[in-house]
Structure 1
């Protein structure tokens, strides 16, 4: 697979900002990965969560995914808190100029190996969190606030092993929310959950939404 052909250090923050060669290695794999992201489509889990939004039952989505698929499923961008960033955007670390990742992809496919800012010549970095890079404080704080204000917090398709994101359901539970965990395998928070629904997120969430829709129609 793709990960067998690249080293973890090719995705490190220090490697990316520290040398042009590091950026060259990153963009080599980044070009391939983004091509896959562009081809991706929302799955059953994304569609079920979007249906919750249309029912007026969704406050926000807190996600570690970077693929923009929640937005593509119809959820407003301001309702999606992206803890690891968004792969469809990039920005210059020097002057802050924003770029569409599609534009950067076109430049890579035209032969550029290390895209630089067209205004200041600075380093263009994807709007995603690399290894060794701090998570965005604003998004982390927003996730904590929304979790503590939730009446019901649903974990959908997460094994809850990546921290600090895995703490977010704990904040919700400690503040009095009902905790629902939907996952194919057990998690370390199952014992604290009010409801555990084992299975694939898309299948379980689709059934859950169908039952909620039936209640609304009644």
Structure 2
């Protein structure tokens, strides 16, 4: 039965993607109204090789970062539902592809959230790995530096977000794989499941005996592996799913 998975008492891993944050006013990437669908240049600027090679593209990228709606976004019912799940006492880990830190702001424990693709609150130098707060770098842009350089070595600065063409942090993806292998239930929420290696966590979880539950408006490559696929709006579906999980154990 499709609903049998709700009664499994073991650990829960939750992979979240851009879709969980759309109700907070942050557009997804590949949907009909997605950021990259409407603005292909934004996707171009998300590729590491392009970004490093083209100073004018970096200038446009800094402006786009300053205008990102995520800076004004607030957590929504989907984020808050995962906080309720954690506070219920269930063993849960959030493996997020998002960079907006809305899980943290909603109240999820930092140690329970694994950021697979980095975060937008910091900048990092591509040469010496020095880090600085994004807000400080925005101040430099506003003061007249359209493409601010690293204050430590003069290298190129980028958001502390993993770009296309960059490898994920091996330790981070290794921890995510461990959670995927140990969970009883693997929820994939608001993700197209087209970006690897994050998407491959679904197959890893199923191969280790977990039930895969996909909550996403659009079809994904892993739908056939799922115990259940839910097409409802995430801010409605996730609170209900969490309530059912809490009540079932």
TM-score using structure 2 length: 0.76
Match of 1:161 in 2: 194
Please say which of residues 69-78 and 133-142 is displaced more in the overlay.
Answer: 133-142
SS at match of 1:165: coil
- Unaligned stretches of 5+ in structure 1? none
Aligned pair partner of 2:98 in 52, 62, 65: 65
CA distance in structure 2 between the partners assigned to 1:74 and 1:55 by the alignment? 13
SS at match of 2:119: strand
Aligned pair partner of 1:177 in 210, 216, 220: 210
With over 3 angstroms needed to count, the CA separation of the structure-2 counterparts of 1:6 and 1:195, relative to structure 1, is closer
Answer yes or no: is 1:114 the counterpart of 2:114.
no
Match of 1:9 in 2: 44
CA distance in structure 2 between the partners assigned to 1:190 and 1:16 by the alignment? 34
Q: Do 2:85 and 2:92's aligned partners in 1 also have CA atoms closer than 8 Å?
A: no
TM-score using structure 1 length: 0.86
1:73-112 deviation line (CA, Å, top 9, x unaligned): 1112222222221111112233332211121122222322
Please say which of residues 120-129 and 182-191 is displaced more in the overlay.
Answer: 182-191
With over 3 angstroms needed to count, the CA separation of the structure-2 counterparts of 1:215 and 1:140, relative to structure 1, is closer
CA distance in structure 1 between the partners assigned to 2:203 and 2:240 by the alignment? 25
> 1:39-78 maps to which residues of 2 (within 5 A)?
39-78=72-111
Match of 2:66 in 1: 31
Task: Kindly report the root-mean-square deviation, in angstroms, between the aligned alpha carbons of the 2 structures.
Answer: 2.3
The runs of 4+ residues in structure 1 deviating greater than 4 Å are 212-216
Point out which structure has higher relative CO (alpha carbons under 8 A, 6+ apart). Answer: 2
> How many residues get paired?
214
CA distance in structure 2 between the partners assigned to 1:154 and 1:66 by the alignment? 19
Q: Do 1:60 and 1:80's aligned partners in 2 also have CA atoms closer than 8 Å?
A: yes
Q: Do 1:156 and 1:182's aligned partners in 2 also have CA atoms closer than 8 Å?
A: yes
1:94-132 deviation line (CA, Å, top 9, x unaligned): 333221112112222232211122233222221112232
